């Protein structure tokens, strides 16, 4: 029971870790400090964790990584949307 709680807590923290960056990017309409390489590397890793979760039939691993992958997908979309907007100096 204790380890299930630890896993669920870790999954929750991971699932929502990109929400602040998404909110900031939407608020400022800027992604100048966001690394696309990091986004794609993390997305690949999270996707593979999700595949691993399906193989292990582990709903915590599947759910956490599915939500994390979705938030990364939103951030990648915002990256491509806002990287074209030039901030005038």
The architecture of the domain spanning 2-82 is Up-down Bundle (1.20)
What pLDDT, on the 0 to 100 scale, is given for residue 40?
95
**Average pLDDT over every residue of 5-18:** 88
Model confidence band, residue 83 (pLDDT cutoffs 50, 70, 90) = confident
CB under 8 Å to 9, separation ≥6 — which residues?
Answer: none
Average pLDDT, the chain: 90
- Taking a C-beta distance cutoff of 8 angstroms, is the pair 73, 26 a contact? no
What pLDDT, on the 0 to 100 scale, is given for residue 21?
93
Which of the listed ranges 9-18, 68-77, 78-87 does the model predict with the highest average pLDDT? 68-77
């Amino acid at each position: 029971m204790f380890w299930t709680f630890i896993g669920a807590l870790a999954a929750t923290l991971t699932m929502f870790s990109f929400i602040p960056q998404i909110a900031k990017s939407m608020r400022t309409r800027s992604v100048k400090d966001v690394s696309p390489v990091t986004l794609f590397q993390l997305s690949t890793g999270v996707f593979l964790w999700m595949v691993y979760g399906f193989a292990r039939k582990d709903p915590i691993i599947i759910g956490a990584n599915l939500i994390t992958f979705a938030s990364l997908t939103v951030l990648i979309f915002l990256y491509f949307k806002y990287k074209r907007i030039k901030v005038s100096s």
